[in-house]
Amino acid sequence: MDRIEEFKPDNFKKIINVDRLATKGIFSDFVIESLTSLNETAILPSVPHRKTVNDFVFITKGELSKMVCSDVFILKSGMLMLLPAYKIRTILKKTGNIEGFYGHFSDDFISDLSSQKKLKEIYNYIELIYNPIFSFDKEAENRIQYLLQQLFLLYEKDMGGSLLKSYLNTVLHEIANFIQTLPSPVFSPKEALIQRFRRLITDNIQETHKIQVYAEMLNITPNHLNKCARSVTGKTASAIINEALTMEAKALLSLPNHTVSETAFVLGFEDVSYFSRFFKKHTNLQPSEYRKKIDLS
């Protein structure tokens, strides 16, 4: 089955009801804007979604809680989160008045081969540690903040793509260089196993929801998978699968061109009524009620 459709930049307002700086011709490929808009009209939690672009958030004040796939991450001052297009994400809540920057960029916008390599290195590291957040030392934090501030000012002045690309490339190189200063991550066998389990869920959630199938992919028994999941996350393997499946369902239901029946089919439910019961159990809402809640009825 095909992946859930992603939101294109022109439709981002639907996610959190924030007006974007969409007046720039470059908007589909690159944008950077202040996070202060989240303090005004944003509706949280946001609609779970995928995007057609990479995006990043850098916090200078306040705290932001985001869910990526089925994992919750807390961004505090001085932290940056970088996500590729295919990751399903949602903003859960904010604490205090948020300041900082949001930005997105398409793969095509990163035209420099060196920067493409750095971006790949960053994403490889994120996949290795299964955490998209970087908590910089003060010197690196100051450099990143300065570069993003310059990017923001250049974008506001509509200075053109080449200069924006240059600053974005420098940001990526700063992140990649910071990674080189970090110690090599060390994981216990159980932690490594659950990371593999989560990656398999991301890749296969639309095809299978069964613990037995994931256990077979990992060459272990379902019982051993459950024990490791409880030990590492405090949750059962089924709970992790169901959280991811619920996020996928919300993401698909947020798209106006998909009916509830189509959503059920794409997610591997042969019986629409069973899908509705599953969704109700995990959200306290029927699929149709959820669509009304996000104004897609």
pLDDT for 151 equals: 94
Assess contact for 56 and 80: CB atoms under 8 A: yes
Give the pLDDT confidence score for residue 103 in this predicted structure: 93
Task: Give the Cα separation of 105 and 20 in Å (integer).
Answer: 14
Going from the C-alpha of 295 to that of each of 14, 15, 34, the distances in angstroms are 10, 11, 26
Closest to 212 (Cα-Cα) out of 229, 203, 202, 225: 225
- pTM for the structure as a whole: 0.81
pLDDT tens readout for residues 226-280:
999 999 999 999 999 999 999 989 888 887 777 899 999 999 998 999 999 999 9
DSSP 192-217: HHHHHHHHHHHHHTTT---HHHHHHH
Q: Tell me which residue of 172, 162, 158 sits closest to 22, measured CA to CA.
A: 158
What is the per-residue pLDDT for 254? 82
Domains by residue range for the chain, with CATH: 9-180 (2.60.120.280), 189-293 (1.10.10.60)
> Is the Cβ–Cβ distance between 49 and 90 less than 8 Å?
yes
* Structure tokens belonging to residue 22: 């969409």
Cα separation, 139 vs 116, in Å, equals 24
Q: In the prediction, which pLDDT does 6 show? A: 57
Whether residue 195 contacts residue 240, with contact meaning beta carbons closer than 8 Å, is answered with no
Asked if 105 and 54 count as a contact pair (C-beta separation under 8 A), the reply is yes
Q: Are the C-beta atoms of 51 and 104 separated by less than 8 Å?
A: yes
Q: Whole-angstrom Cα distance, residue 213 to residue 188?
A: 23
User: Which tokens hold the place of 58?
Assistant: 């850098």
Within the chain, which residues score under 70 in pLDDT? Answer: 1-27, 295-297
Eight-class DSSP state of 40: T
Burial class from Cβ neighbours inside 10 Å (0-12, 13-18, 19+) for residue 154 reads: middle
pLDDT of 19: 52
Q: What is the pLDDT of residue 23?
A: 44
Question: Which pLDDT score, from 0 to 100, does residue 2 have?
Answer: 47
The residue written with tokens 């910071």 in the block is: 178
- Report how far residue 268's alpha carbon sits from residue 266's, in angstroms, rounded to the nearest whole number: 5
pLDDT at 1: 41
